[in-house]
């Protein structure tokens, strides 16, 4: 049986289709399920290997990004998600999903307003910091962001504990796309350039960049330039983008 992902939807989440496609492209299966249906039938969590909270703008970010959806998750599904994570399972929170799982207390810290006080949509470069199952075999990757509240923050005590538990998963670095577009490496002012963190021994990953929007080579912002480099060097032009490896890792984790 192929590893199965359950992808939450509803109330402003909007990248569930890209996420489903990424898991299927990686060799798994996936269902998009409205949060109300999960609340009504929480036993469907027992049929999933992977749970994903995708990106979007849940509840219009009216009370802060991810807070209302996070409260709904805590009040109605907290116990069920604890049981889910007590198994050898994986969880992913992307962008608004990261904001949701921190608001729900599944991962520590919070995502607050960008230092530039603007919604920022661009590509960034991130460097892997730990050995999460999601990140095996990856050292750096280029991925897009799209957020206004992506600055990772945690109180000193919480931050110290996070680092002691090797919970820092991704950091923004000055890599290929930052140089190409002449942009600062850290797009939002996150503490110590943090772009993603993990919990539950690395099985639960929250990150602000969108790997599901970087699963094809032609999604890279400078793919035409790179294509010409490959052609001039006599090399094959890649078909896959850097983000796909994350989804392949998740599927292969259960093989």
Helix axes 244-253, 16-25, angle to 10 degrees: 60
The domains of the chain, with CATH numbers, are 4-253 (3.40.50.880)
Question: Exactly one of 16, 18, 95, 147 is catalytic; which is it?
Answer: 95
* Distance from chain centroid for Cα 210: 6
Question: Exactly one of 16, 18, 49, 210 is catalytic; which is it?
Answer: 210
Q: For tokens 């249906």, what's the residue?
A: 37
pLDDT digits (tens, 9 = 90+) for 103-147: 999 999 999 999 999 999 999 999 999 999 999 999 999 999 999
Active site (annotated) includes residue 210:
yes
pLDDT digits (tens, 9 = 90+) for 144-189: 999 999 999 999 999 999 999 999 999 999 998 877 778 899 999 9
Question: Exactly one of 16, 18, 149, 212 is catalytic; which is it?
Answer: 212
Beta carbons of 20 and 111 less than 8 angstroms apart: no
Could you give the strand order of the β-sheet that contains 168-173, starting from the edge strand earlier in sequence?
29-34, 4-9, 50-53, 90-94, 204-207, 194-199, 168-173, 120-128, 140-147
Following DSSP, what letter does each residue of 192-237 receive, concatenated? GGEEEEEETTTTEEEESS-GGG-SBGGGSTTHHHHHHHHHHTTPPP
Q: For tokens 């993603």, what's the residue?
A: 196
Helix locations, 26-167, DSSP H: 35-40, 67-86, 96-103, 156-164
């Amino acid at each position: 049986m192929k590893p199965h992902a359950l992808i939450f939807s509803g109330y402003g989440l909007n990248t569930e289709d890209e996420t489903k496609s990424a898991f299927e492209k990686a060799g798994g299966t996936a269902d998009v399920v409205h949060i109300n249906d999960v609340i009504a039938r929480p036993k469907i969590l027992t049929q999933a290997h992977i749970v994903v909270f995708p990106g979007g703008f849940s509840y219009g970010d009216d009370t802060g990004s991810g807070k209302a959806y996070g409260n709904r998750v805590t009040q109605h599904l907290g116990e069920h998600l604890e049981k889910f994570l007590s198994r050898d399972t994986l969880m992913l929170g992307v962008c608004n999903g990261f904001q949701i799982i921190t608001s729900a207390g599944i991962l520590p810290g919070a995502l607050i307003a960008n230092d530039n006080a603007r919604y920022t949509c661009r590509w960034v470069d991130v460097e892997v910091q730990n050995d999460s199952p999601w990140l095996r075999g990856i050292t750096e990757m280029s991925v897009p962001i799209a957020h206004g509240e992506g600055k990772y923050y945690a109180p000193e005590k919480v931050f110290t504990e996070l680092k002691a538990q090797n919970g820092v998963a991704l950091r923004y670095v000055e890599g290929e796309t930052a140089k190409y577009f002449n942009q600062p490496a850290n797009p939002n002012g996150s503490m110590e350039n943090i772009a993603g963190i993990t919990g539950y021994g690395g099985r639960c990953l929250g990150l602000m960049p969108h790997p599901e929007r970087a699963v094809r080579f032609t999604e890279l912002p400078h793919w035409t330039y790179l294509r010409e480099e490959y052609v001039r060097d006599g090399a094959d032009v890649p078909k896959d983008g850097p983000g796909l490896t994350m989804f392949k890792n998740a599927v292969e984790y259960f093989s």
